């Protein structure tokens, strides 16, 4: 956790923006019987994070005995320093309601929730969960999803190749991404466990973004951060095209224009503005003409 916060601070200085969140884990990170001590450590790390850092916490599931203690200990003391709370094993909208009430009781009624969708039933309810006003993002929990099928999905379905080809896994990923986009929420892609293989990591991130519509992705090792950023960031060519088109559209009063031999209108302008937003959020260098738009 300390290494992650250090890496975040270093890359914030490098890029001039905080380009990834650090989520301090209480669910899998805490040893059995040591939940309270781990929550205290997470609280101190969140309170001691650098100014401007984006720090979150993954608490235990809402039906776990440590859930309420996690929220009271961490959110109760460090809620103002958190950017969101991740809730794992979300099955229903009622689970989100339970989590929201706990955050409210801990004095953080405005703190967003992110939900980890990890079972076939949760995928079935993804649209309802994404519609909840407190939910900011849905993440796909690949390994729990596969294991929830009782062996019906082979182990390869967890791998860097199989997770993009097995029909049940592909369907789940598409449902979650579609649910998020339907309700203006952020779809976050699952981890890739082959963290030593940077080429495989980069290829997976590109597929998640370009084929499955995911706009964020989890890392489980510092070596994965840069390949993910590279894959989810617009290319220099896409940034240049977006700037040129938006300048031409502005000069035309946002009426339809002919640009590079093609017709474009406000739907195109909205798309290319989103390209520039992603470029800004991921620390890409913007042309001089566009920098004022984000001043």
Q: What is the predicted pLDDT for the residue at 214?
A: 96
- What is the Cα–Cα distance from 273 to 259, expressed in whole angstroms? 15
Smallest Cα–Cα separation from 293: which of 246, 259, 252, 251? 246
118 is in an annotated binding site: yes
pLDDT in tens, 232-244: 899 999 999 999 9
> What are the residue boundaries of the structural domains of the chain, listed by start?
1-232, 236-292
**DSSP letter, residue 234:** P
Q: What is the predicted pLDDT for the residue at 51?
A: 86
pTM of the predicted structure, to 2 decimals: 0.90
Q: Per-residue confidence of the chain (295 residues) as pLDDT tens digits?
A: 999 999 999 999 998 888 999 999 999 898 899 999 999 999 999 999 988 899 999 999 999 999 999 999 999 999 999 999 999 999 999 999 999 999 999 999 999 999 999 999 999 999 999 999 999 999 999 999 999 999 999 999 999 999 999 999 999 999 999 999 999 999 999 988 887 888 888 999 999 999 999 999 999 888 899 989 988 899 999 999 999 999 999 999 999 999 999 999 999 999 999 999 989 888 888 999 898 898 8
CATH superfamily of 1-232: Phosphoenolpyruvate-binding domains (3.20.20.60)
Q: What is the predicted pLDDT for the residue at 17?
A: 83
- What is the Cα–Cα distance from 56 to 163, expressed in whole angstroms? 26
Q: What is the predicted pLDDT for the residue at 195?
A: 78
- What is the Cα–Cα distance from 215 to 74, expressed in whole angstroms? 28
Q: What is the predicted pLDDT for the residue at 145?
A: 97
Q: What is the predicted pLDDT for the residue at 87?
A: 98
pLDDT in tens, 150-205: 999 999 999 999 999 999 999 999 999 999 999 999 999 998 888 788 888 899 99
Q: What is the predicted pLDDT for the residue at 1?
A: 92
- What is the Cα–Cα distance from 209 to 78, expressed in whole angstroms? 33
144 is in an annotated binding site: yes
- What is the Cα–Cα distance from 176 to 185, expressed in whole angstroms? 10
Smallest Cα–Cα separation from 108: which of 82, 141, 145, 143? 82
Q: What is the predicted pLDDT for the residue at 196?
A: 80
Q: What is the predicted pLDDT for the residue at 216?
A: 94
**DSSP letter, residue 107:** T
Q: What is the predicted pLDDT for the residue at 215?
A: 93
Distances in Å between the Cα of 123 and the Cα atoms of 135, 168, 280 are: 15, 11, 31
| Number of neighbours of residue 8 by Cβ within 10 angstroms | 23
21 is in an annotated binding site: no
């Amino acid at each position: 956790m300390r290494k992650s916060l250090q890496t975040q601070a270093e890359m914030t200085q490098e890029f001039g923006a905080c380009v990834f969140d650090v989520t301090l884990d209480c669910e899998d990170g805490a040893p059995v019987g040591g939940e309270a001590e781990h929550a205290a450590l997470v609280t101190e790390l969140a309170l001691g994070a650098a100014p401007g850092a984006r720090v979150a916490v993954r608490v235990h599931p809402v039906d776990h005995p440590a859930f309420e203690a996690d929220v009271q200990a961490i959110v109760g003391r460090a809620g103002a320093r958190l950017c969101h709370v991740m809730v794992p094993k979300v099955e229903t909208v009622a689970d989100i309601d339970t989590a929201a009430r706990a955050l409210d009781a801990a004095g953080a009624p405005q703190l967003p929730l992110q939900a980890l969708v990890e079972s076939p039933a949760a995928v079935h309810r993804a649209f309802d969960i994404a519609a909840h006003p407190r939910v900011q993002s849905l993440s796909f929990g690949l390994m729990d999803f596969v294991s929830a099928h009782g062996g019906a999905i082979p182990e390869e379905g967890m791998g860097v190749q199989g997770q993009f080809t097995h029909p049940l896994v592909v369907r789940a990923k598409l449902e979650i991404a579609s649910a998020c986009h339907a309700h203006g929420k952020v779809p976050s892609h699952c981890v890739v466990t082959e963290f030593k293989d940077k080429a495989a990591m980069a290829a997976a991130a590109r597929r998640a973004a370009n084929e499955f519509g995911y706009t964020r992705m989890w890392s489980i090792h510092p070596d994965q951060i840069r390949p993910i950023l590279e894959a989810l960031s617009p290319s220099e060519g896409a940034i240049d095209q977006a700037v040129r088109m938006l300048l031409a559209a502005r000069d035309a009063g946002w009426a339809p224009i002919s640009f590079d031999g093609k017709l474009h209108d406000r739907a195109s302008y909205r798309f290319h503005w989103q390209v520039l937003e992603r470029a800004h959020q991921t620390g890409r260098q913007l042309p001089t003409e566009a920098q004022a738009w984000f001043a």
